[in-house]
Amino acid sequence: METIKIVIKDHPLMGNKRAVEFEGVEYLSYALSEAQLVWYERFLDNDGNLIDSKIISVRRIVSHISNANKVTPDGIMISTENVAFLNPMLDNESEEEYKDRIQELVTEQELTSIPEFDFWMEKVGWRPLVIEAATLLEYFGRFDKP
């Protein structure tokens, strides 16, 4: 199976080039409402190739996605922190006005929010794959075996 490698921004402290490799799904709920995705952070050489070394450790990253979280149509998680980060305080705004504006923006975004897991299932196209896999397993009687 082909490894999915995505080059990400350089390490914030060391400046090293890096990428993440998709390992797979560690957990998928029966209700198809949450999952844990597993990634490995790897460092790259100057040519963009993965560095294989026993000295440089590979960091395992688990990303939990859940319908308990809501995202914008662009996939940005809706939270006070994220909205504040994307909407800095204006020069003529008091601290209280800023907090009120951020809360209004959060409330506004929640009106058009999408459940996070559903958003990613749609983007990646997993739901049809899961249904197809279940149909195939059922066809071969795999659900009947102990």
Residue 97, domain member (yes or no): no
Look up the domain containing 12 and give its range.
1-66
* pLDDT for 79: 94
Looking at the chain, the whole-number percentage of residues with pLDDT higher than 70 is: 99
Is residue 59 assigned to a domain?
A: yes
The answer to whether position 119 is within a domain reads: no
Residue 55 within a domain: yes
pLDDT of residue 1: 59
Asked if residue 128 is part of any domain, the answer here is no
Q: What is the model's pLDDT at position 62?
A: 93
For the chain, give the secondary structure using H, E and C.
Answer: CCCEEEEECCCCCCCCCEEEEEEEEEEECCCCCEEEEEEEEEEECCCCCECCCCCCCCEEEEEEEECCCEECCCCCECCHHHHHHHCCCCCCCCHHHHHHHHHHHHHHHHHCCEEHHHHHHHHHCHHHHHHHHHHHHHHCCCCCCC
In a domain, 26, yes or no: yes
Which residue(s) pair with 39 in the sheet?
22, 61
Whether the per-residue pLDDT at 82 is higher than 80: the answer is yes
- Residue 124 predicted with pLDDT over 80: no
Q: Is residue 132 part of a domain?
A: no
Q: What is the CATH number of the domain that holds 27?
A: 2.20.25
User: What is the CA 41 to chain-centroid distance, rounded?
Assistant: 14
- CB count in 10 Å sphere of residue 117: 23
* Residue 64 pLDDT level (bands cut at 50, 70, 90): very high
Summarize the confidence of residues 28-54 as an average pLDDT: 86
Measured CA to CA, the distance from residue 21 to residue 61 in angstroms comes to 10
Please give the pLDDT value at position 25.
84
Long-range contacts of 82-88 (CB under 8 A, 24+ apart): 83/109
CA distances from 80 to 61, 87, 92, 93, 123 (A): 24, 10, 21, 17, 24
pLDDT value at position 28?
A: 83
Q: pLDDT tens digits, residue range 65-78?
A: 999 999 999 888 99
Q: Evaluate whether residue 138 is within a structural domain.
A: no
Number of domains in the chain: 1
